Amino acid sequence: MQDNFSSNFPNLTHLDQQGQAQMVDVSAKAPTVRQAVAAAQVRMLPETFAAIQAGNTPKGDVLATARIAGIMAAKQTANLIPLCHPLPLQKVEVEVIPDSQLPGYQIQATVKTKAETGVEMEALTAVSVAALTLYDMAKALEKSIQIESIRLISKTGGKSGDYSPRISG
């Protein structure tokens, strides 16, 4: 790699002077309130959806287990994603919302902190693990369940400001 790698790519904060991955130093940043919302969807056969809705599954309460797994995952993000900062999370909310039109579930996580860096990865991790847990809890009923469209919905706070996707028409 080039000796002066970061001078050629000054906006790549996760790379050092030699182009090696590094954890970003956020010690000079002031803690601010930050929030991120992420979403995913889990698509399945109508019969599987009906069984979950009726509570008729071999492993127990699919939706409660998925919700708790998402909350726990958000709290473990720094252990799962290299270079993520461990953050004091003040709020983690995971919703698993039935959607008969899929059929399946919309999953949404809201994560909030007062820290030097944002919580986008925590929210994305929460919805990902909640979706994986939903799959695990229902795979005895259907192996073809699809996890789709994991995405950041919005984020607030921090130097880069607020984010919400643009709607294209």
Q: What predicted TM-score, i.e. pTM, was given to this entire model?
A: 0.86
pLDDT digits (tens, 9 = 90+) for 111-169: 999 998 889 999 999 999 999 999 999 999 999 999 999 999 999 988 778 888 875 54
Q: Which of 144, 74, 83 has the alpha carbon at shortest distance from 112?
A: 74
**30-156 is classed CATH 3.40.50.300:** no
- Half-sphere exposure in the Cβ direction for 76 (13 Å, CA): 11
Contacts of 115 (CB under 8 A, 6+ apart): 31, 32, 34, 85, 87, 88
Domain boundaries, the chain: 30-156
How far apart, in whole angstroms, are the C-alpha atoms of residue 54 and residue 40? Answer: 22
Is residue 99 part of the annotated active site? The answer reads no
Annotated catalytic residue within 3, 16, 25, 136: 136
- Residue ranges at the known binding site: 83-85, 121-122
